[in-house]
Structure 1
Amino acid sequence: MAWFLGLGITGVVLLALSLIFDGLLDGALGGGLDGWLSLPVVAGFVSMTGFGAVIAQAATGVGPAGATAAGALAGAATAWLICRLSRALMRDRTAVAPTGADLIGTSGNVVTAIPAGGFGEVLLRLGGQPVKFAARSSAPVPRGAEVWVEAAPSATSVLVRAVDR
């Protein structure tokens, strides 16, 4: 039983190392540890084989060979589950991040007055969050005025025009 507990604990340590050094071993070996040979899958198999054997031996009183077989079945099922879950997580994609092009046509307020042909600052909403941008305008725009974004020449600057109301 001590050997099986040692095997289970070794698997838990491997799993902790795979969480701490996420992908380090995969990168060192050229990414060849995908799927069934990934460290979390191997750690789950080793851990569940050891703990499954301990449970089988304690619950049913089977010998070491029977406990090993029961533990290996539990380990294989756990490895399959971890492999399937990790593949599902790797395929999961998030929404596209907002870009400067999403700003065109939006309105905002001038934070720092914009001189004619010079730079000022405007507060715009990008992805629902307030973000301050450097702004240029062909005409002077006072602080607090509402503006429309006409273009986004860079990731941190916009071309604006004052809103006539």
Structure 2
Amino acid sequence: MAWFLGLGIAGLVLLVLALVLDGVLEGVLDGVGGGLDGFLSLPVIAGFVSALGFAGAITMGVTGTGAGVATGAGTVAGGVVAWLTGRFSRALMRDEAAVPRGDDLTGSPGRVVTAIPAGGYGEVLLRLAGQPVKYAAKASAPVPRGAEVWVESVLSPTSVAVRPVER
């Protein structure tokens, strides 16, 4: 049973090292099997080894069976944990997350921080993904500092066209 507990602890230590060193170990091991990208990553290996060890120790302790049965149960548990870790890692790494884009500003409210002259540029404070962001702003009529505005369109990555809010 001590061997299985040792494997479980070694898997946890490997997982902690993979998280703390964040890619340094994977950079060192780039030449191994085409790199450790995808399903063969350090968190997946660490999860497999840890689950194999702990499931094997639990199987031996609870059922009183030999090392062969405990190894089989640990391998099955390790395979499940490795598969789940790989799927979870891929889900976290996907680029399909809701990343805010400049076009998302159209129709959003903001406040003027630097007065906007007619036909010229001033500055507005807008919220993009909950974060305050300052943009250059252009309006067809003068807008005083502190006025509430709506974004009509995005002119560039750093400037917007606004109109004052009428109440």
Same fold, judged at TM 0.5 (above):
yes
SS of the residue 1:134 aligns to: strand
* CA distance, structure 2, for counterparts of residue 80 and residue 105 of structure 1: 43
SS of the residue 1:97 aligns to: coil
Of residues 69, 74, 86, the one that matches 1:71 is 74
Equivalent residues, number: 164
Relative distance call for 1:2 and 1:116 in structure 2 (3 A) is: same
Task: Look up the match of 1:44.
Answer: 47
Relative distance call for 1:144 and 1:71 in structure 2 (3 A) is: closer
Is 1:112 matched up with 2:114?
Answer: yes
Following superposition of structure 1 onto structure 2, how do residues 12-27 of structure 1 map, counting pairs within 5 Å? 12-27=12-27
Relative distance call for 1:164 and 1:84 in structure 2 (3 A) is: closer
Larger Cα Rg: Structure 1 or Structure 2? 1
Length-normalised TM-score, structure 1: 0.72
Given residue 4 of structure 1, which amino acid in structure 2 is its aligned partner? F
Following superposition of structure 1 onto structure 2, how do residues 52-67 of structure 1 map, counting pairs within 5 Å? 52-67=55-70
Following superposition of structure 1 onto structure 2, how do residues 60-99 of structure 1 map, counting pairs within 5 Å? 60-91=63-94, 93-99=96-102
* CA distance, structure 2, for counterparts of residue 53 and residue 73 of structure 1: 10
Given residue 122 of structure 1, which amino acid in structure 2 is its aligned partner? V
Contact 1:107 1:149 in 2 (8 A): yes
Contact 2:100 2:128 in 1 (8 A): no
Q: CA deviation at 1:40?
A: 1.3
* CA distance, structure 1, for counterparts of residue 150 and residue 75 of structure 2: 65
Q: CA deviation at 1:108?
A: 4.3
Task: Look up the match of 1:122.
Answer: 124
Q: CA deviation at 1:147?
A: 4.8
Task: Look up the match of 2:137.
Answer: 135
SS of the residue 1:37 aligns to: coil
Q: Which runs of 5+ in 2 are unaligned?
A: none
Q: CA deviation at 1:9?
A: 0.5
My pick for the range that moved more, 11-20 or 55-64, is 55-64
RMSD in angstroms over aligned alpha carbons? Answer: 3.3
Q: CA deviation at 1:161?
A: 5.5
Task: Look up the match of 1:157.
Answer: 159
Given residue 5 of structure 1, which amino acid in structure 2 is its aligned partner? L
Relative distance call for 1:56 and 1:106 in structure 2 (3 A) is: closer
Contact 1:98 1:127 in 2 (8 A): no
* CA distance, structure 2, for counterparts of residue 160 and residue 111 of structure 1: 13
Relative distance call for 1:154 and 1:74 in structure 2 (3 A) is: same
Length-normalised TM-score, structure 2: 0.71
Q: CA deviation at 1:106?
A: 5.4
Q: CA deviation at 1:12?
A: 0.7
